[in-house]
Amino acid sequence: MSMARLVERLLQLVPVLLGVSVIVFVMITLTPGDPVEIMIGDQVVTPEQEAQMRRDLGLDRPVHERFFVFIGNAVQGDFGESFYHRRPVIDVIAERLPATIELSLVALLIALATAIPLGVLAAIRRNSILDRLATVGSLLGVSLPGFWFGILLIMLFAVHLQILPVSGRIGYSSEIDPITHFLLIDTLLRGRPDAFLDALSHIIMPAITLGLPMTAILMRVTRTSMLEVMRQDYVTFAEAKGLPRRRVLFRHALKNALIPTVSVAAIETGSLLGGNMIVETVFGWPGLGRLVVESIFVRNYPLVQAAVLFYAVTYVMLNFLADILYTVLNPRVKL
Amino acid sequence: MTDTEAASGAGAAGDTIFRRNMRSFAENRLALGSAVVVVIFVFLAIFAPLVAPHDPAETDLFRRLQPPGWMPGGEWSYLLGCDALGRDILSRIIYGARISIFIGAAVVLVATTVGIVAGLAAGYLRGWVDTVISRIVDILLGFPYLIFAIGLMAMMGPGLFNIILALVYKEWVIPCRVVRGETLVTRELEYVEAARALGASGRHIMLREILPNILSPVIVVSTIRMAHVIILEASLSFLGLGVQPPTASWGAMVSDGRAFILQAWWVSTFPGVAILLLVLAINVASQGLRDAFDPRFHE
């Protein structure tokens, strides 16, 4: 792909991102309930103090002016103060982000590591028992409500068998000084294999729950595209040349069959973001998703606003990345 | 072939294709069985007051966390046990079906209608109409679904009408894209050209000529979306952003049971089974529908 096309695609993102910001701004502006009243709560304040607070928040200005202030500040990473934490929203979000990213990456890893082999096997042994089981499994995977599946896992592995912890990110005894804030990496950097295993035992259930729908989808995509590739002339030709089947399948077919899988994986990584809220709530995972849900109930709107915007921007960027990845991997496709 | 048939003979030929498709759907045992399951759920929802063994809101502290009928301490008249307020779980599941199915159907119905109108307009009229609609679609696609709905619910506050609204705001994009794509292809077909040559109005062409011929894929997509919407509604109500208590909704029931997973596994488990059963049945049935209606699956 040429540089010019890349820049053009990047420029196409601008109106989308602008539109997304408008919607987020409108959401917050149309909210019933006055943020100043929420901040005041039960405290007694004079009308002058109230007016001052309104001025500080810029609420005395007309709506269109407030929008430009919001965009201007957002671009600089300034989302105002979290009512609840009395700290800048951006700091609170940054603090919770590593936990969410770590969980999402492990979920992605689990999904890829199960979906690809299963999809390939199902395609190679088409209509076998394994293929049917995989089909049923993938249907179950997209039909299971994540919050319920998570609770079932907790009941089985934490309550009944007692081999995994119910919630949290790491046990008290294993807490370590953070370096990267990714606990699976930090525990190893600090030379604490025991703490690593502890962190691993905490992340395994939430990651499986989060990755389940993605596993189901990726498996189906891999199976379909593998079947398609196996019908192609070049694969038949390689087989006709007398190359061993294993080599044909894994060296020739799989490489091309994985193209759709990779780009769907990039798109689905975006939907992991939505699943985060549910999974983090179920497993008491101290990430951004749970923070947003909690913030809604304490009407901490600046934080909700910033987080929704953050999620949307990440989602748009991931979809963009999926497009680019697809073109790079598949030179026949022109953007 | 399908297109020309559908195009040439107005009503009669269309019916034959529809009937043939329905027959091929009925031959798919699994899909048919799933459709029956969906119908049973709808039936339970409609006739909930007649079917439910107890009043779903009736609390009985003597039956607090009572186990299911087959377990020691359980009663057969309270088949699936009771929740923390001593309410009959089976009755609450039956009433909960009303919420799930009503919201699922309402969201898909409204979203599909909006999507059809917007998609037809964008695909047939092209020009600035298409540009505006496609931009809005792009922007809405920029939000992860659940986060968009959560954000809206946080702003609008909980409630039945608000959930439907929050989900419709984003859901219409999906049928809209399908309709737009199909319209772009169909508007170039000869029979549409013929109608135009005969001086038919744009409205007539969109609603009478194009729409009937693109309805199958739209219906198929809508049924698949229904499963998604039901899970989304359950997720919102699990988070406490759905229909408010004491109205029974499956997601909230699962959430209520979380506090008692140590002593009473049934409180969370059974409502979740209901969600899974309904969503799975819709998914399998709609896949059967797709296979039957999409000519690409006919060989």
**Residue A205 touches chain B, beta carbons under 8 Å:** no
Report domain extents, chain B.
47-266
* CB-CB neighbors (< 8 A) of B258 in chain A: 151, 282
Provide the percentage of residues in chain B whose pLDDT is more than 70.
93
- pLDDT reported for residue B47: 93
Stated pTM of the model: 0.87
Across the interface, do B146 and A30 touch by the CB < 8 Å criterion? no
Give per-residue pLDDT as tens, A135-151.
Answer: 888 889 889 998 999 99
Lowest-confidence region among A139-148, A175-184, B86-95, B196-205? A175-184
* pLDDT single digits (tens) A256-278: 888 888 888 888 888 787 788 89
Contact state of A271 with B144 under an 8 Å Cβ cutoff: yes
Summarize pLDDT for A186-222 with one digit per residue, the tens.
888 888 888 888 889 999 999 999 999 999 999 999 9
Residues 316-335 of A with CB under 8 A from B: 316, 319
Residue A234: the pLDDT is: 84
Choose between B6 and A242: higher pLDDT: A242
- From residue B93, give the alpha-carbon distance in Å to each of A221, B56, B63: 35, 8, 17
Are A289 and A307 in contact, with CB atoms under 8 Å apart?
no
Q: What is the pLDDT of residue B44?
A: 93
**pLDDT at residue A71 tops 50:** yes
Instruction: Please say whether the beta carbons of B123 and B130 come within 8 A.
Output: yes
pLDDT at A82: 74
Tell me if the domain spanning B47-266 has CATH number 1.10.3720.10.
yes
CA of B273 vs chain A CAs: smallest distance (Å): 9
Q: Is pLDDT of B204 > 80?
A: yes
Residue A209 and residue A188 in contact, taking contact as beta carbons nearer than 8 Å: no
Phi-psi region of B81 (alpha: psi -120 to 50; beta: other; left: phi over 0): left
Rounded to 5 degrees, what angle do the CA atoms A203, A205, A208 make? 100
Chain B residue numbers touching A19 (CB-CB < 8 A): 135-136, 138-139, 142
pLDDT tens, B256-269?
888 888 888 899 99
| Contact A136/B at CB under 8 A | no
Mean pLDDT of A156-165: 90
Residue type, A160: H
Structure token digits, residue A25:
């701004």
Q: Which of B143, B231, B284 lies at the smallest CB-CB distance from A145? A: B231
When pLDDT is averaged across residues B237-247 and rounded to a whole number, the result is 86
Cβ under 8 Å to B: A residues 27-56: 27-28, 30-32
Cβ pair B155:A28 closer than 8 A: yes
DSSP string, A221-261: HHHHHHHHHHTSHHHHHHHHTT--HHHIIIIIIHHHHHHHH
Report pLDDT for B2: 43
Q: Interior CA angle at A81 toward A78 and A85, to 5°?
A: 135
Taking the C-alpha atoms of residue A18 and residue B209, their distance in angstroms, rounded to an integer, is 37
Arithmetic mean of pLDDT, A151-164: 92
CB atoms inside a 10 Å sphere around CB B83: 26
Going by pLDDT thresholds of 50, 70 and 90, the confidence category of residue A334 is: low
- Of the residues B131, B141, B155, B232, the best mutation for testing chain A's interface (the one with the most A CB atoms within 10 Å of its CB) is B155
Please check whether residue A157 touches B, CB under 8 A. no
Joined together, the tokens standing for residue A155 give: 């009941």
Residue B38 has pLDDT above 90, yes or no: yes
| pLDDT category of residue A83 using cuts at 50, 70 and 90 | low
Angle of helix A89-124 relative to helix A193-230, nearest 10 degrees, comes to 50
pLDDT for the residue B96: 92
Phi-psi region of A96 (alpha: psi -120 to 50; beta: other; left: phi over 0): alpha
Contacts of B280 in chain A (CB under 8 A): 139-140, 143
Residue B104 near chain A (CB below 8 Å): no
Diameter of chain A by CA atoms?
A: 89
pLDDT at B5 over 70: no
Residue to mutate among A17, A148, A162, with most B CBs inside 10 A, is A148
* Chain A environment of B138 (Cβ under 8 Å): 15-16, 19
Say if A145 is an interface residue toward chain B (CB within 8 Å). yes
Any A CB within 8 A of B146 CB:
yes
What tokens were used for B231? 């899970």
Q: A191: distance to nearest CA of chain B, Å?
A: 36
- pLDDT above 70 (res A316): yes
- Rounded (5°) CA angle A80-A83-A89: 40
Rounded to an integer, the average pLDDT of A115-139 is: 89
Cβ separation A27–B152 shorter than 8 A? yes
> Residue B275: its chain A contacts at CB < 8 A?
145, 148
Interface test with chain B among A147, A164, A276, A323, by most B beta carbons within 10 Å: A147
Does B136 reach chain A within 8 Å, measured CB to CB? yes
Report the interhelical angle of B160-171 vs B145-156 (nearest 10°).
140
Q: Which residues of A touch B231 (CB under 8 A)?
A: 143, 145
Which residues of chain A are within 8 Å of residue B284 when distances are taken between CB atoms? 139
pLDDT tier for residue A332 given thresholds of 50, 70 and 90 = low
A22: closest CA of chain B, how far (Å):
10
pLDDT at A116: 92
Write the residue in A31, A293, A315 that is nearest to B142 by C-beta: A315
Chain A residue with the nearest C-alpha to that of B141: A316
Cβ-Cβ contacts under 8 Å, A308 against chain B:
143, 147-148, 150-151
Sole residue written with tokens 């048919």:
B32
Chain B residue whose CA is closest to A139 = B280
What ipTM score was computed for the predicted complex, to two decimals?
0.85
Six token digits for residue A303: 């934080």
| Residue B30, pLDDT above cutoff 60 | yes
Residue range A91-110, pLDDT digits in tens? 889 889 999 999 999 999 99
Q: What is the pLDDT of residues B102-158, one digit of tens each?
A: 999 999 999 999 999 999 999 999 899 999 999 889 888 888 888 888 888 877 778
Q: Which two tokens stand for residue A138?
A: 């993938």
Angle between helices A3-29 and A301-329 (to 10 degrees): 160
Long-range contacts of A123-126 (CB under 8 A, 24+ apart): A123/A222, A123/A223, A123/A224, A123/A226, A123/A227, A123/A230, A123/A257, A124/A226, A124/A230, A124/A249, A126/A227
Least confident of A45-49, A110-114, B113-117: A45-49
Mean pLDDT, residues B195-207 taken together: 88
Instruction: Please check the confidence at residue B12 and state whether its pLDDT lies above 50.
Output: no
- pLDDT tens digits along A269-309: 887 877 888 999 999 999 999 998 888 877 777 788 888 88
- Indicate the average pLDDT of chain B: 86
Phi and psi, residue A82, nearest 5° = -75, 120
